[in-house]
Amino acid sequence: MTSDSPAISQTPSRQGPARPSRAEAEAAVRTLLLWAGEDPAREGLRDTPRRVVKAYEEFFRGYAEDPVALLSRTFEEIEDYDEIVLLRDIRLESHCEHHMVPIIGRAHVAYLPGKRVVGISKLARVVDAYAKRFQIQEKMTAQIANAIQHVLQPRGVAVVIEANHQCISTRGVHKPGVGMVTSHMLGEFRENPSTRREFFAMIQSRSCTAE
């Protein structure tokens, strides 16, 4: 493993286009309803723009999260523990940046501690910080691994994501049930085949099929 830290994607800068107001966002939803052929003024849709904007606040809360800050509280009293730390089957809900439809799956996150470890809930929160944004799965997998490597400086990091994409199951080629698997290995997980095999054996020791 080189001494250079991998690039890390943190909270996106707000230096780009100005963020629209809530009223403007709701107006955009009404425009989409009209374009789809609906009447935004009818009873069943009257509150839909407000509900959609509120849902977007939850779907994309990752833009307000800083992965580095999430991982900043670590513990050094590890009694020389130097084996794999794995958090498996982390539920993942994201949205495809190409079609704005859901990506649903699971992440498996492992690292080989150096001098410190982090609370396991923080690993799950880092997954959420990147998942709760518009994403492509390949980029998200690398972002999670790079953030852990950057902050914890472990001897290695491994991230695998298994997910189903509605952009191919509900539109386009219409292939439901197709799963996508991506991985990103750093340090000993990349350089040492036996460490990599141990990691994959650990995540495959029982079914990890995405819901």
- Rounded Cα gap, residues 186 and 174, in angstroms: 35
- Rounded Cα gap, residues 139 and 103, in angstroms: 13
- Rounded Cα gap, residues 81 and 199, in angstroms: 16
Q: What is the pTM of this model?
A: 0.88
Q: At residue 23, what is the residue type?
A: A
120 neighbors 129 (Cβ within 8 angstroms): no
User: What local confidence, expressed as pLDDT, does residue 13 receive?
Assistant: 54
182 neighbors 160 (Cβ within 8 angstroms): yes
Residue indicated by tokens 């780009």: 16
66 neighbors 10 (Cβ within 8 angstroms): yes
Residues identified as active-site? 96-99, 137, 165, 167
User: What local confidence, expressed as pLDDT, does residue 207 receive?
Assistant: 47
| pLDDT tens track, the chain, 211 positions | 444 556 666 565 556 789 999 999 999 999 999 999 999 999 999 999 999 999 999 999 999 999 999 999 888 877 878 899 999 999 999 999 999 999 999 999 999 999 889 999 999 999 999 999 999 999 999 999 999 999 999 999 999 999 999 899 898 999 888 999 999 999 999 999 999 999 999 999 864 444 4
Using only C-alpha atoms, the chain has a radius of gyration, in whole angstroms, of 20
- Rounded Cα gap, residues 190 and 156, in angstroms: 8
118 neighbors 136 (Cβ within 8 angstroms): no
13: three-class secondary structure by DSSP? coil
By CB neighbour count within 10 A (0-12 exposed, 13-18 middle, 19+ buried), where does 142 fall?
buried
